[in-house]
Structure 1
Amino acid sequence: MIGDSAFAAFADNLRRTRGLYAKADVAVATRRLGLSSESVVPVGDDCAAIPEHDGWLLFSTEGFANEFVAGDPWYAGWCGIAANMANVAAMGGRAIAVVDSLWSPSDVHADPVLRGLRDAAGAFSVPIVGGHTNLQSDRSQLSVSVLGRTRHLLSGFEARSGERLVAVFDLRGRFREPFNHWDAATNASGERLRGDLDILPQLAEAGLCRAARDIGQGGLIGTAAMLSEGSGVSVELDLDAVPRPEGVCDARWMQAVPSYGFLLSVQPKDVEAVLSAFRRRSIAAAEVGRLMPGSHLRLRSGGYQETIWDVAREPLTGCKATA
């Protein structure tokens, strides 16, 4: 693909990305709040998983950067629900209800955000049951939470050395310029969106996977680093095997925030069944790496390899698997 020095420079650029370093903000909060994966409810996964009878309640929340809400307010409202729905699916669950918190200077400013929330709630068939609204703010700000439920939990803490890394993306979309959000959802039918998300809980119920993460802010690189930290394993990611849209450069795609993108850790014997489950619905899926003992995220391409992050030396979120 590229020469040794060029690949080293490429890897260094990924190492310094804003999205990856933004994940380190989580470590500040977890440390000061005294939270970790060893808390009563383990912290650091895509959702809080709260034991309930014979399963778990899943509680997911997402907040959005001010410039994103101001620059693409309808899509910010849509993402408020869609991102949380992906978090719940990544934990093997199905959503129950939504609450949102919106601050805005006026009802005119709030309108596109509210329409985005309403449209996404309809598409994903999940009710908005409450929240908080303030129309006296100096800017628009948004936070959304979703409650879900599962009996078969997927977790970013459960990946194990010897398993294979599977990446899945819906490539039928486009970037929402100037942001790094890959939108493959807003032109899709609600039936397709719901069916595509349901693959994750179906895999959990079939016992084909027990570890997954939604690819969110930080892109594939940031998500792989969190999987490494959360599960206490090294992740080796093969850049050449990653599914990507035609014409999109590697550097941007590694940092992209896809509307549908997941990273799964799968036992070798189950890889083909997992890939087939996504491909049957025209979702790109590929084995893109492996998990090994250690604490490193390594990126390789051709004969070249670079370490992007060592979570033992420099924790990312401060949340890791228990011994």
Structure 2
Amino acid sequence: MDLSALAARLAAHPSIRGKLQIADATRGLGLDAASPGAPGDDAAALPRADRGWDLLAGEGFMPQFVSDDPWFAGWCGVMVNLSDIAAMGGRATALLNAVWAPDAEQAAPLLAGLRDAARAYGVPIVGGHSNLGAPALNIAVSVTGRADRLISSFAARPGDALIAVIDHRGAYRPRFDNWCAALDAPHDRLQGDLALLPELAEAGLVDAGKDISQGGIVGTALMLAECSGCGFQIDIDAIPLPPGADLERWLRSFPSFGFLLSARPAQAAAIQARFKARDICAAVIGTAIDIPRIDLFDATQTVTFWDYRDQPYLGLTKDHAHA
């Protein structure tokens, strides 16, 4: 395998490069990682007066994705928001949505997907906004949650084990690099799987991580590294693949249940055991380093996928003790 060519193709892919737009938005709003809620994390974490944090997150979708598969887009509006809350070590409490459609008939599958996913995951939809006279179909969903202890994008440390946690019991959806392992799963399993993340945080096993987003494993590792002021060396031979999956596609795929956890090495086995008990793949795929880049390596070569010192990714800054 030509790792240099692989890294170059990944770095040029729209799923990876789309995250560069985050910097445009944060600059326009005058935000950085030191702003309230720590932009750059999976959800805004606001400290409570008593204990713990209130969590807030939201998601919008590409219009083409929504128009191609409106029911699944509605489902994803719930699913991805709940993953953001779990990635922070939290439990979701409520969902709100905004729906645009030309009429009620075209809105129906979108609303059905929202309803079905909210029931599956056991989180109520408590309101939102609707416009049934819009020129096109689209959706945005927000979520609230709570956490007693946080899993943060800003807490990875050099020397950590990088653990990829992905539910392989699924398949790709047509046209997009979305690996879905949720639609046929029992509802109690979906809810119990997400509960693993706050349980790990509360047990003191994990304090750093991120849910695997549209940037896939490599893009998410890059965001986690830049937020934390470290880097990662990723062993591509250590990345488990579902049957029939292609490595390059898998590295940029967005799984329905997928997280990167950066954990102290002594905790890695205990973390993996928790996921194994629920038939979820959790593999150590790399190590955090004190260099601001993501490297990919195998038995014969090491190449740099992205150096965020030369090309910032999220464009957020924060002081780090080890940077």
CA RMSD in angstroms comes to 0.9
In structure 2, C-alpha distance between the alignment counterparts of 1:302 and 1:112, rounded to whole Å: 48
Aligned residue among 35, 45, 48 for 1:52 = 48
Q: In structure 2, what residue type is equivalent to 1:159?
A: A
The residue that corresponds to 2:208 in the other structure is 211
Q: Which consecutive residues of structure 1, in runs of 5 or more, have no partner in the other structure? A: none
In structure 2, C-alpha distance between the alignment counterparts of 1:189 and 1:25, rounded to whole Å: 36
**Cα deviations across residues 1-43 of structure 1 (Å, max 9, x unaligned)?**
x2xxx22111110111111110000000111211011113311
In structure 1, C-alpha distance between the alignment counterparts of 2:174 and 2:143, rounded to whole Å: 27
In structure 1, C-alpha distance between the alignment counterparts of 2:106 and 2:295, rounded to whole Å: 44
Alignment of 1:74-223 (within 5 A): 74-223=71-220
Residue 24 of structure 1 aligns to a residue in which SS?
A: helix
Aligned residue among 16, 21, 32 for 1:20 = 16
In structure 2, C-alpha distance between the alignment counterparts of 1:178 and 1:32, rounded to whole Å: 32
In structure 2, C-alpha distance between the alignment counterparts of 1:11 and 1:284, rounded to whole Å: 24
2:3 and 2:296 in contact (8 A); partners too: no
Following superposition, the deviation at residue 314 of structure 1 comes to: 1.1
1:169 and 1:243 in contact (8 A); partners too: no
Q: In structure 1, what residue type is equivalent to 2:201?
A: A
Q: In structure 2, what residue type is equivalent to 1:16?
A: A
What is the TM-score normalised by the length of structure 1? 0.97
State yes or no: 1:300 paired with 2:278.
Answer: no
In structure 2, C-alpha distance between the alignment counterparts of 1:146 and 1:301, rounded to whole Å: 40
In structure 2, C-alpha distance between the alignment counterparts of 1:222 and 1:302, rounded to whole Å: 22
Q: Which consecutive residues of structure 2, in runs of 5 or more, have no partner in the other structure? A: none
In structure 1, C-alpha distance between the alignment counterparts of 2:262 and 2:305, rounded to whole Å: 19
Alignment of 1:229-248 (within 5 A): 229-248=226-245
**Cα deviations across residues 192-250 of structure 1 (Å, max 9, x unaligned)?**
00000011000000000100100011111110000110000011111111122111111
1:229 and 1:321 in contact (8 A); partners too: no
The residue that corresponds to 1:253 in the other structure is 250
In structure 2, C-alpha distance between the alignment counterparts of 1:198 and 1:243, rounded to whole Å: 23
In structure 2, C-alpha distance between the alignment counterparts of 1:91 and 1:41, rounded to whole Å: 12
1:275 and 1:286 in contact (8 A); partners too: yes
> Aligned pairs, how many?
319
Q: In structure 2, what residue type is equivalent to 1:272?
A: A
**Cα deviations across residues 62-121 of structure 1 (Å, max 9, x unaligned)?**
100000000111110000000000000000000000000111111111111100000000
1:37 and 1:322 in contact (8 A); partners too: no
In structure 2, C-alpha distance between the alignment counterparts of 1:38 and 1:196, rounded to whole Å: 31
**Cα deviations across residues 179-202 of structure 1 (Å, max 9, x unaligned)?**
111110010011000000011000
Q: In structure 1, what residue type is equivalent to 2:44?
A: A
